[in-house]
Amino acid sequence: MGQEAAKHPQGHIIRQSPPFDADHIPDDAWMKDKVVIITGGASGFGLGMFRRWAAAQAVVVMADINVAQGDRLVRDVKKATANSNLHFIHCDVTEWKSQVSLFREAAKLSPHGGIDTVVANAGIAAAKRTFEEPNDIDLADPPPPDMSILDVNLKGVVYTSYLALWYLPRNPGSSPADPSCVPAQVTRDRHLILMGSLASLMPIPGSALYGTSKHAVAGLYRNLRASSFMQGIRVNLICPYFVETPLLTAPARALLAGGVLCKEDDVVEAATRFAANPGIVGRAVSVGPKLKVKQDVKGEWHLVEGEEPGAEQRAIWEIYLHDLEDADVFQRRCLAMINRVTELRGWAGWAQDMVTALVYGIRSLWR
């Protein structure tokens, strides 16, 4: 494609930070006094984040549908960490009013009246192949497919993100996210972490709706990171591989028997690297099994067996790295033509469109 293949970086426009540095170790102390909401916080990744950030003396609000377990865990972690600023709030993420109540209560519990970080973590997986194997469609009134996975994993995440987009810019004492910031000089944050999955990146046979929901979360991330800079919010994404959590169903465990799983601690580590560094903006990582690898002179990574100089253990890998570096020919040409037409129409064209929009609005009121 010759010159058409030249790179057209867009990352600076949306204030995206440089590529994720997997070798940088986060300073958990930065989390002290930060106010965090974690949905689905009573188990799995959410619980791991809750424990670690509680130990760093953050103000953490655990939101979950399991009241008994949530209450017990908060009491236990308060005692273990000597952190009194830990709270449990019952929340059904599929219910809008429940999430509204969560955010309002969290803001009331916040010592400074605001929220620094929101982790949209709540999710479920299907135990059966109900979507791929339809039943009873020949009945007079066939039942619809079970949509609970989409309700929790997609609608719930959209609700959480929507509320975060309102609360985060209004966090008292916070400033717009800045990739060039010095973390030690940043006292408040505006941070949304979305929890994707391996299923955000590739198909998982037998998990159509789960994969659909997680692909949608990745799509939400890729769109929000291209616009959230206007509100000064940083949005990051974590996509874990199969992990030993309650989400891992019995069939999945059977299929993975003899293989290697991702460690929950590595997922929590990735979340902490995002949360404890306000300079990481618009980045996504995949967390997989910890492997011994080595990078060659071309920058490619290779699996290492045995001992080899320069090899290292790595579980966290950046994804969607080049989204904003390259734009394909079709996209560039289309945008160029549209922009040229806009220039030719000028203010007269803008005024004409505004009058048309106004007339349309008035007519719609009379319908």
| Residues labelled catalytic | 210, 214
Alpha helices in the chain (DSSP H): 44-55, 67-81, 96-109, 148-150, 156-167, 208-224, 250-255, 264-275, 329-365
Nearest alpha-carbon partner for 231 in 182, 168, 186: 168
Q: Please provide the distance, in angstroms rounded to a whole number, between the alpha carbons at the two ends of the chain.
A: 52
Nearest alpha-carbon partner for 127 in 257, 253, 209, 250: 250
Q: Which residues pair with 191 in a beta bridge?
A: 117, 234
Q: Are 218 and 261 in contact (CB under 8 A)?
A: no
| Strand 86-90 to 59-64 pairing | parallel
Q: Dump the DSSP string for 143-194.
A: PPP--HHHIIIIIHHHHHHHHHHHHGGG-TT-----TT--GGG-----EEEE
Nearest alpha-carbon partner for 224 in 181, 162, 317: 162
Which residues lie below 8 Å from residue 256, measured CB to CB, with a gap of 6+? 242, 248
Query: Would you call 240 helix, strand, or coil by DSSP?
Result: strand
Which residues lie below 8 Å from residue 149, measured CB to CB, with a gap of 6+? 124, 125, 126, 209, 210, 213
* Residue whose tokens read 């509320």: 163
